[in-house]
């Protein structure tokens, strides 16, 4: 969600609050790809990610009135909603234990472009294995930074941390991931 | 979120700040999908994001009547993004200390005009500097450093310097250069161990009597004889500067050839 500057966002928010459907549509379209990426990274399968993304977009439109510019950026507001919706999705899954959980590595999907997709799926499994070595909170932090594309400040707003604490935590997590990746290369 | 499980700013050592800033820039680069081709972790993360994006199903186009208005919104957004990038670049020239960059309160507007070459070089230089620091700390505890180990650490510090030399001025770069200078001074002040054992030897007195202490040449000297750049060779030898000859196999962007961009800045949000 880096294509739109804060001023444009604010204007769209104001118009959407006044019931401007075009502005609401523009906001949803701007955030939807990164919301899907974040949800897909956290829930592990496409269908659930699509459902959760849809719920986040609906909650964004209905919850815009609650957003206060001076407290959080809109990105932090959106991904705060997304984090809660993902948590709800996980809870629903735990209620149905036959479904995969976040911890289960995703399976290779054979739909588009077989070879390239299989390669990407291997990479995804590898990345998820690396990320699974991190504590859940730290993994969530990295997913907000990498998959959602939030800044350290925005990530801090979502997680209730200072930006400095985010930077320290992400640095140590990356150091751990890199040493694991290097050990893998040496093997 | 259990915030207590994560480290607070107070837990960051002063020497860690440059590395923290480099990691932040590296993450921005990865998230912005700028290529870091010689970085295996960045490549894996980019592949993971590509895989996710390949599954994304965009919304259908809006009704025709709305399209012309939407085009105006998109054009407005593009103009706004250009403006913000310009403001960010200007802000980067004002200069702020490194700790303000990491723990301060930068502008709420988030922009990511990242330069992948700069991000990669800073990350590699920070990693080399940390490893040199660890080696010097270990040697200090051991009461001295062998010639081979000194050569390896010198190689790491030189390689970090080579990586930083062509980069534009910035808080992270300055902090790393200062750290390298301090480490060079510490290294120079370390007494030499007479035997060719690493500083992890039990005591300096026992070193002189160890016949099996002959070790392969250090990784830094092997780097000098090899075809790779000092930076990549030193990174390859990162974990075992006292043993030498080890190689992680991880490629590195190495050298300075890819860091010549004169207009690159470390980041827009307060660094420099």
Find out whether B268 and B85 touch, Cβ atoms under 8 Å. Answer: yes
Q: Predicted confidence band at A152 (pLDDT cuts at 50, 70, 90)?
A: very high
Kindly state the average pLDDT of the residues A99-127.
Answer: 61
B16 or B235, greater pLDDT = B16
- In chain B, which residues have their Cβ closer than 8 Å to the Cβ of A124? 47-48, 51-52
Distance between CA atoms of residues B30 and B123, nearest Å: 12
- Report whether pLDDT(B71) > 50: no
The number of C-beta contacts closer than 8 angstroms across A and B is 198
SS (H, E, C) chain B: CCHHHCCCHHHCCHHHHHHHHHHHHHHHHHHCCCCCCCCHHHHHHHHHHHHHHHHCCCCCCCCHHHHHHHHHHHHHHHHHHHHHHHHHHHHHCCCCCHHHHHHCCCCCCCCCCCCHHHHHHHHHHHHHHHHHHHHHHHHHHHCCECHHHHHHHHHHHHHHHHHHCCCCCCHHHHHHHHHHHHHHHHHHHCCECCCCCCCCCCCHHHHCCCHHHCCCCCHHHHHHHCCCCHHHHHHHCCCCCCCCCCCCCCCCCCCCHHHCCCCCCCCCCCCC
pLDDT number for residue A20 = 87
SS3 at position A85: helix
DSSP 8-state secondary structure symbol assigned to residue A33 = H
pLDDT of amino acid B125: 86
Average pLDDT (A135-160) is 95
Contact A34, A4 (CB under 8 A): no
* Contact state of A127 with B44 under an 8 Å Cβ cutoff: yes
Across A39-180, the runs of DSSP E, i.e. the strands, are: none
The answer to whether A171 contacts B24, with C-beta atoms less than 8 Å apart, is: yes
Question: Cβ of B7 and A127 within 8 Å?
Answer: no
Q: Output B86 or A153, whichever has higher pLDDT.
A: A153
pLDDT top residue among A95 and B188? B188
Question: In whole angstroms, what is the distance from residue B258 CA to residue B256 CA?
Answer: 6
Q: Tell me the nearest-neighbour CA distance from A96 into chain B, angstroms.
A: 24
Q: Long-range contacts for A51-60 (Cβ within 8 Å, ≥24 apart)?
A: A51/A89, A52/A82, A52/A85, A52/A86, A52/A89, A55/A85, A56/A81, A56/A82, A56/A85, A57/A28, A57/A31, A57/A32, A59/A85, A60/A27, A60/A28, A60/A31
pTM of the predicted structure, to 2 decimals: 0.61
CB within 8 Å of chain A, chain B residues 94-133: 102-106, 108-112, 127
List Cβ neighbours of A97 (8 Å cut-off, separation of 6 or more): none
For the ranges A175-184, B209-218, B233-242, the maximum mean pLDDT occurs at A175-184
Q: What is the mean pLDDT of residues B225-239?
A: 43
B26 touches A140 (CB < 8 A): no
| Average pLDDT value for chain A | 84
pLDDT at B36: 81
Give the residue with greater pLDDT, B84 vs A187. A187
- Assess: ipTM above 0.90: no
Going by pLDDT thresholds of 50, 70 and 90, the confidence category of residue B251 is very low
CA-based torsion, A28, A31, A32, A36: positive or negative: negative
Query: What average pLDDT score do residues B217-234 get?
Result: 40
> In the structure, what pLDDT confidence band is assigned to residue B100 with cuts at 50, 70 and 90?
low
How far apart are alpha carbons B135 and A169 in whole angstroms?
A: 24
Q: Which pLDDT belongs to residue B209?
A: 37
Is B222 an interface residue toward A (CB < 8 Å)?
A: no
* B185 touches A at CB < 8 Å: no
Higher-confidence residue: B168 or B214?
B168
Compute the average pLDDT of residues B196-213: 42
């Amino acid at each position: 969600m880096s294509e739109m500057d804060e001023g444009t966002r604010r204007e769209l928010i104001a118009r959407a609050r006044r019931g401007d459907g075009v502005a609401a549509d523009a906001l949803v379209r701007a955030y939807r790809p990164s919301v899907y990426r974040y949800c897909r990274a956290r829930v592990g399968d496409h269908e659930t990610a699509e459902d959760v993304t849809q719920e986040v977009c609906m909650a964004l439109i209905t919850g815009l009135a609650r957003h206060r510019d001076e407290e959080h950026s809109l990105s932090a507001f959106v991904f705060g909603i997304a984090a809660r919706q993902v948590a709800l999705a996980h809870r629903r899954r735990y209620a149905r234990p036959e479904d995969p959980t976040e911890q289960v590595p995703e399976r290779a999907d054979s739909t588009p472009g077989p070879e390239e997709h299989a390669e990407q799926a291997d990479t995804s499994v590898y990345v998820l294995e690396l990320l699974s070595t991190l504590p859940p909170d730290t993994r969530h932090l990295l997913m907000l930074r990498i998959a959602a594309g939030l800044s350290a400040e925005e990530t801090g707003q979502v997680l209730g941390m200072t930006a400095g604490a985010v930077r320290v935590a992400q640095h140590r997590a990356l150091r751990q991931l890199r040493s694991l990746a290097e050990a893998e290369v040496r093997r | 979120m259990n915030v207590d499980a994560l480290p607070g700013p107070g837990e960051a050592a002063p020497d860690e700040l440059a590395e923290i800033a480099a990691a932040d820039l590296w993450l921005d680069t990865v998230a912005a999908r700028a290529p870091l081709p010689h970085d295996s972790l960045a490549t894996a993360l980019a592949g993971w994001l590509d895989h996710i994006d390949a599954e994304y199903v965009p919304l259908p186009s809006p009704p025709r009547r709305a399209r012309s208005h939407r085009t105006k919104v998109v054009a407005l957004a593009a103009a706004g993004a250009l403006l913000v990038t310009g403001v960010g670049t200007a802000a980067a020239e004002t200069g702020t200390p490194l700790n303000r960059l990491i723990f301060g309160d930068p502008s709420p507007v988030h922009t990511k005009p990242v330069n992948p070459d700069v991000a990669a070089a800073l990350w590699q230089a920070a990693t080399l500097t940390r490893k040199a620091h660890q080696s010097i700390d270990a040697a200090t505890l051991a009461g001295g450093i062998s010639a081979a180990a000194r050569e390896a650490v010198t190689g790491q510090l030189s390689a970090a310097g080579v990586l930083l030399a062509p980069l534009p001025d910035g808080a992270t770069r300055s902090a790393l250069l200062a750290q390298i200078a301090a480490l060079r001074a510490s290294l120079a002040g370390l007494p030499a161990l007479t035997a060719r054992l690493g500083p992890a030897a039990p005591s300096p007195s026992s070193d002189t009597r160890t016949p099996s202490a002959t070790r392969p040449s250090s990784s830094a000297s092997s780097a000098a004889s090899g075809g790779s750049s000092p930076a990549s060779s030193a990174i390859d030898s990162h974990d075992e500067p006292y043993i030498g000859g080890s190689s992680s196999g991880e490629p590195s962007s190495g050298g300075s050839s890819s860091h010549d961009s004169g207009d690159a800045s470390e980041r827009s949000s307060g660094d420099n």
